[in-house]
């Protein structure tokens, strides 16, 4: 296995992790910004107010995107297993 193949394998793994985490992180960020705007306009400075809506939104997003995430993970793992003999030569 050449160093270029190792770097490519690492890049693919990092890209897959970013791709799978992006919907959850984006929804969490948007909900956090909306709650921060609500807190700023109403001057309610309760720290625990942000956690419950964020957790609920991320859980709903995970339920919505779970089939897509699973398909991506299965395709990546399948590709990795198929290319395993070429990687260990």
Whether residue 32 contacts residue 88, with contact meaning beta carbons closer than 8 Å, is answered with no
Residue 3 has pLDDT above 90, yes or no: no
Q: Model-level pTM greater than 0.85?
A: no
What pLDDT band is residue 86 in, cutting at 50, 70 and 90?
confident
Q: How far is CA 44 from the centre of its chain?
A: 30
Q: How many Å apart are CA 11 and CA 29, to the nearest integer?
A: 25
- Name the residue with tokens 């306009």: 41
**pLDDT band at residue 62, thresholds of 50, 70 and 90?**
very high
Domain ranges of the chain: 3-87
pLDDT in tens, 31-60: 999 999 998 899 888 888 889 999 999 999
- For residue 89, pLDDT over 80 is answered with no
Nearest to 13 by CA among 72, 62, 85: 72
Q: For position 12, what pLDDT does the model report? A: 95
- The answer to whether 28 and 57 are in contact (CB under 8 A) is yes
- Mind listing the pLDDT tens digit for each residue in 13-36? 999 999 999 999 999 999 999 999
């Amino acid at each position: 296995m050449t160093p270029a193949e190792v770097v490519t394998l690492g890049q693919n793994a990092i890209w897959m992790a970013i791709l799978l985490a992006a919907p959850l992180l984006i929804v969490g960020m948007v909900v956090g910004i909306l709650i921060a705007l609500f807190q700023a306009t109403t001057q309610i400075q309760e720290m625990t107010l942000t956690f419950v809506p964020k957790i609920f939104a991320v859980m709903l997003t995970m339920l919505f995107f779970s089939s897509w995430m699973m398909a991506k993970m299965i395709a990546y793992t399948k590709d990795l297993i198929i290319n395993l003999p070429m990687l260990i030569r």
